[in-house]
Amino acid sequence: MPRFNKKRSKKAGLPPGTLVHVGKKRTEKTRITILDYDQTDFREREVKSVEKCFPFKDTSTVTWINIDGIHQIEIIEKIGKHFNLHPLVLEDIVNTEQRPKLDDFEGYIFLVMKMPYFDKENNTIKLEQISLVLGPNFVISFQELEGDALNPVRERIKNGRVRIRRSGTDYLIYALIDAIVDNYFTILEKTGEQIANIEEKLLNEPEKETLHDIHDLKREMLLFRKAVWPLRELVSSLERGELELINEPTRVFLRDVYDHTIQVIDTIETFRDMLTGMLDLYLSSISNKTNEVMRVLTIIATIFIPLTFVAGLYGMNFEYMPELKWKWSYPLVLLVISVTGIFMLFYFRRKKWL
């Protein structure tokens, strides 16, 4: 919950373009890695100072600069200055409360996306913000954390001889977005399994915890939905082909990512519907169970209360109670009581109350 706009208020009233890091406080040092490649060559290195990546701005090779950690504002500022990024872009990069979006600027495209990852410490799913800047021959990616979600892309580049090495930055950006969307699939698959587990439990023995599990998953889907709906628009803008930096051959791939995004949305909506259905099922199961228990208990009481009354009747101390003197009274009363009890039992059973 505390994800919502925490610390966002720090920025209220500041002039636009003021860089304020909004997000979880972090202490790790920012890590900068550079991948530079064309069809034949490939270099990868990690640099200590941000200035090291400046020369790549104008080389003809494709360069992917990856920044892990966005809390060191001065680094972001230097990059912004050298690569001519608009102050508002820099502001958005360091503000992790951003909504996914695409902004088309003179000479570069700026993208913000959310990526789900499994936070092992808290055992929950979280969303990390990834910002991408797509230039004519460089791509800069900004991640909140060091993550391995983009590694497959890195591997593919290393392996050479694949399409990615023959293509430009637009294909690289496609590959990155594709990796991010694939992450949603991986996470949703786990969610699907969780839902299946909960459902099974629901049909066998609903428990109190089930309610909270359903509630948590619903909440998660709510967050995902908020993150993926704008993503759809974003990919759609890329694919429509109105952006100069996106070449025609890449568009068929972007259409593919678009389809995946729709599928993610579809799955989220289906999960939401399923969870709602399960909540209803849970509530009525619980209520059914309680009703059943109460009914059985009440029936037991109902059978014995009149019998107790009969017993109480002959426990009265009146002097003139002729029945008390009769020899067969006691067995008779026992008989009456037994018959009444058994009759009630049968009656309730026949009425299907038991």
Question: What is the rounded distance in angstroms from the CA atom of residue 347 to the CA atom of residue 338?
Answer: 14
350 binds a second copy (CB under 8 A): no
Sketch the per residue contact string, 304 through 343, with a second copy: x for CB under 8 A, - otherwise: xxxxxx-xxxxxxxxxxx-xxxxxxxx--x---x------
Whole-angstrom CA distances from 23 to 27, 91, 95, 127, 191 are 12, 13, 7, 12, 26
Burial class (CB in 10 A: 0-12, 13-18, 19+), 231: buried
Indicate which single residue of 295, 336, 338, 346 sits in contact with a second copy (rule: CB under 8 A): 295
| Cβ-based neighbours of 258, under 8 Å, separated by 6 or more | 232, 235, 236, 239
Site for a second copy (CB under 8 A): how many residues?
119
Q: Residues with Cβ < 8 Å from 171, sequence gap 6 or more?
A: 163, 164, 250, 253
How near is the Cβ of 2 to a second copy at its closest, in Å? 6
Task: For the segment 78-107, give every residue that binds a second copy (CB under 8 A).
Answer: 86, 88, 97-99, 101, 103
Residue 120 or 327: which CB sits closer to a second copy? 327
Contact track, a second copy, 236-265, x by CB under 8 A:
----------------xx-xx--x--xx--
Is residue 93 a contact partner of residue 129, using CB atoms and an 8 Å limit? Answer: no
Indicate the residue among 72 and 270 with the shorter CB distance to a second copy: 270
346 binding a second copy? (CB under 8 A): no
The residues in 132-161 that bind a second copy, with binding defined as CB under 8 A, are: 151-153, 155-156
- Rule CB under 8 A: is residue 349 a binding residue for a second copy? no
CA distances from 298 to 9, 303, 348 (A): 57, 9, 11
Rounded Cα distance between 256 and 303, Å, is: 69
297 is a site residue for a second copy (CB under 8 A): yes
CA 348 vs. chain centroid, Å, equals: 49
Report the residue number, 27 or 123, with the smaller CB distance to a second copy.
Answer: 123
Q: Which stretch binds a second copy (CB under 8 A): 9-17, 41-49, 63-71, 113-121?
A: 9-17
Give residues 46-85 in contact with a second copy (rule: CB under 8 A): none
Rounded CA separation 189/183 (Å): 10
User: By CB under 8 A, what part of segment 109-128 binds a second copy?
Assistant: none
Q: Which of 196, 335, 336, 342 binds a second copy (CB under 8 A)?
A: 196
Query: Of residues 39, 124, 288, 338, which one binds a second copy by CB under 8 A?
Result: 288
Q: How far apart are the first and last CA of the chain?
A: 46
Q: How far is CA 222 from CA 8, 179, 284, in A?
A: 20, 22, 24
Minimum separation from the CB atom of position 103 to a second copy (A): 7
Under rule CB under 8 A, residue 162 binds a second copy: yes
Residue 343's nearest CA partner among 311, 294, 302, 313 is 302
Residue from 293, 336, 339, 342 touching a second copy (CB under 8 A): that is: 293
Identity of the residue, 47 or 313, whose beta carbon is nearer to a second copy in the bound complex: 313
